[in-house]
Amino acid sequence: MLHLIPLATLLLLSHATATPLTDPQPLPLIIWHGLGDNYAADGLHEVGDLAIKTNPGTFVYYVRCHDDPGTDSRATFIGNLTEQLAQVCEDIASHEILSTAPALNALGFSQGGQFLRGYIERCNHPPVKNLVTFGSQHNGIAKYQVCGDDDWVCRSWISLLKGHTWSDFVQSHVVPSQYFRATNFSTGDPTPEYLAHSNFLADINNERARKNTTYAANMAALDRFIMYVFANDTTVIPKESGWFAQTNISSGEVVELRDRPIYQQDWIGLKELDEKGGLVFETTSGGHMTFEDDVLEHVFKTYFAPTTTAHWKGAGADVQELMEL
């Protein structure tokens, strides 16, 4: 993994400029990027920089499956999510700075949103306090996205999916297939193939007969879960997946989360979270991953500002730069 400067050195170096301990410090922020992107991308770091500017002292960690940006980007298409997530959990739990925090805030873009939910449900060490997702596929996708003309990685893997979504080979190698969700056209119920073979989504949404109560407890323990949908998203089909809604892609009819069994029988703690006011449905204008002016700043101010209920001494102002050397 990353070649890190020993923590003792970092703390020594940052000592002189550290903010007084009496001020509440913002919790570290973990950001998980979307399909085709990588943890070192400029656009992603602009988001992180804005988070730091909005809440000075925030330590930002960009979630990655690999230290090489190209390999990290490829891992957004290719890999077994069970293994990717286990690796991410281990990286975060053993991280020199993150592991010293009482809690984290989390920001997920597109598929990174449901993967962060996987982190919370399966690992949550350290626990997440507020989760914000933008254009995520919480209720899966009903169709694969259209790849760019010269995006050969996307094209070659998507072509492999045709008719093979539920094979073990595809489910352990093609990332989007692991959150593909097939439903019966006339009943709207998930298909037996999906329930039997989905390597990720059917599990983290607790859709199988045997429920994991830890998943529900960890989600219900969040302070807030804020779900943004892009009003004109045509990449995520259906876009209402970002709110856990189910859409009949033939008629366009939408069944909202609160009218679905996952909520009513509280399979993953969303009802409990909603009843304490922690579930937030938001819309922002534009297509997939196009950000309205100030929407991110609004999110950082509203949900990730320091609070007196999560005490942390902070990482020190210089640590971010030193860790990125």
What are the residue numbers of the active site? 110, 233, 288
Are 119 and 128 spatial neighbours (Cβ–Cβ below 8 Å)?
A: yes
Contact between 239 and ligand NAG by CB under 6 A: the answer reads no
**Phi-psi bin for 286: left (phi > 0), alpha (psi -120 to 50), beta?**
left
User: For residue 159, what are its two tokens?
Assistant: 């072509």
Residues 102-131 that bind ligand NAG (CB under 6 A): 122
Q: Which of 99, 214, 265, 283 binds ligand NAG (CB under 6 A)?
A: 214
Rounded CA separation 168/166 (Å): 6
**Which of these, 25, 43, 17, lies nearest to 104 by C-alpha position?**
25
Q: Which of 46, 68, 83, 275 binds ligand NAG (CB under 6 A)?
A: 83
User: For residue 157, what are its two tokens?
Assistant: 């893997």
Q: Which of 149, 150, 168, 294 binds ligand NAG (CB under 6 A)?
A: 168
Contact between 246 and ligand NAG by CB under 6 A: the answer reads no
Output the 3-class SS for 103-149: CEEEEEECHHHHHHHHHHHHCCCCCEEEEEEECCCCCCECCCCCCCC
CB-nearer residue toward ligand NAG: 18 or 89:
89
> Which region among 33-41, 50-58, 157-165, 178-186 touches ligand NAG (by CB under 6 A)?
178-186
Contact between 209 and ligand NAG by CB under 6 A: the answer reads no
Contact between 82 and ligand NAG by CB under 6 A: the answer reads yes
Residues 18-77 that bind ligand NAG (CB under 6 A): none
295 burial class (0-12, 13-18, 19+ CB within 10 angstroms)?
A: middle
Contact between 167 and ligand NAG by CB under 6 A: the answer reads no
Please give the residue ranges that form the binding site for ligand NAG (CB under 6 A).
80, 82-83, 122, 168, 171-172, 184-188, 199, 212, 214, 231-232, 248, 250-251, 285-286
